[in-house]
Amino acid sequence: MAEDNKTHFGFRSVDSSEKAGLVAGVFHSVASRYDLMNDLMSGGIHRVWKRFTIELSGVRRGHRVLDIAGGTGDLAAKFSRIVGETGEVVLADINSSMLEVGREKLTDKGIVGNMRYVQANAECLPFPDNHFDCLTIAFGLRNVTDKDAALRSMHRVLKPGGRCLVLEFSKPTSDVVSKLYDQYSFSVLPRMGQLVAGDSESYRYLAESIRMHPDQETLKGMMDEAGFVNTSYYNMTGGIVALHRGIKA
């Protein structure tokens, strides 16, 4: 978190107390078109990133899984099938609109028995210590005001030996990819948001928030500081996205 009780909202500096409300406004606005925009923005490749996350999770039948900032439930749906009726998946999101879209989507798919929905702030998760076998947060950490507090909270609710997986946009590994990505993010993406979701500003914020997110090594260090061990990361699509994994000792 920035000094003097300030933090960033995209490229703007705002009071830390204001950020959660500003982010909420973004996701209330885009919730109904979130899945469609994900497919359009990434050309569908977000599904590959999420599949890799599932593969590295180590989740098995009977496990208890927490999907933070789970939004419309892509990861939660897959985890639900893996853990089976003896397991449990908690889809958590701070945003009520996103949580409701996720609940409706998964219910329509017939995923009901082992799913629970909780409106929760990642910085102060309302769950007991040592509770979950696995925890994921996909494309949500960059929107959290106090990322260090969130990582400590995630560490607390994991069981010893449990895995934390952070899937997030990151820093491209080559200058060429970085320049092309910037052009796409700040020229194409807001126009796409306006055409499809009727909201260019929210997608401009999303592009800006990615640039303000810690790079791969910095986030790895933050996870280490929060208490995770054997922390590692995997770059995907030239570093545009990275998957960080940490273990609770």
Give the domains, in start order, of the chain with CATH numbers.
6-173+204-248 (3.40.50.150)
What's the rounded mean pLDDT across residues 179-195?
A: 88
pLDDT digits (tens, 9 = 90+) for 78-115: 999 999 999 999 999 999 988 999 999 999 999 989 99
242 annotated as a binding-site residue = no
The pLDDT score that the predictor gives to residue 203 is 81
The pLDDT score that the predictor gives to residue 2 is 45
Strand partners, 234: 243
What's the rounded mean pLDDT across residues 4-20?
A: 81
> How far is residue 96's CA from residue 91's CA, in Å, rounded to a whole number?
12
Among 28-37, 172-181, 206-215, 234-243, where is mean pLDDT lowest? 28-37
149 annotated as a binding-site residue = no
Read off the tokens for 20: 């959660």
Indicate if the pLDDT at residue 3 is higher than 70.
Answer: no
pLDDT digits (tens, 9 = 90+) for 191-245: 887 887 777 888 888 889 999 999 999 999 999 999 999 999 999 999 999 999 9
The pLDDT score that the predictor gives to residue 202 is 80
Read off the tokens for 243: 């998957």
pLDDT digits (tens, 9 = 90+) for 115-166: 999 999 999 999 999 999 999 999 999 999 999 999 999 999 999 999 999 9
Helices (H), 87-146: 96-108
Closest Cα partner for 87 from 103, 107, 108, 67?
A: 67
> How far is residue 115's CA from residue 144's CA, in Å, rounded to a whole number?
24
Query: CB of 85 within 8 A of CB of 114?
Result: yes
The pLDDT score that the predictor gives to residue 14 is 77
**pLDDT band at residue 1 under the 50/70/90 scheme:** very low
Indicate if the pLDDT at residue 4 is higher than 80.
Answer: no
Indicate if the pLDDT at residue 31 is higher than 70.
Answer: no
- Highest-confidence range of 18-22, 28-32, 241-245, by mean pLDDT? 241-245
38 annotated as a binding-site residue = no
What is the separation of C-alpha 126 from the centre of its chain, rounded to a whole number of angstroms? Answer: 18
Higher pLDDT pick, 42 / 169: 169
121 annotated as a binding-site residue = yes
Q: From its phi and psi, is residue 205 left (phi > 0), alpha (psi between -120 and 50) or beta?
A: alpha
> What is the rounded (10 degree) CA torsion for 75, 80, 83, 84?
-160
Residue entry with tokens 């810690």: 214
**pLDDT band at residue 38 under the 50/70/90 scheme:** confident
Summary mean pLDDT of the chain: 91
**pLDDT band at residue 10 under the 50/70/90 scheme:** confident
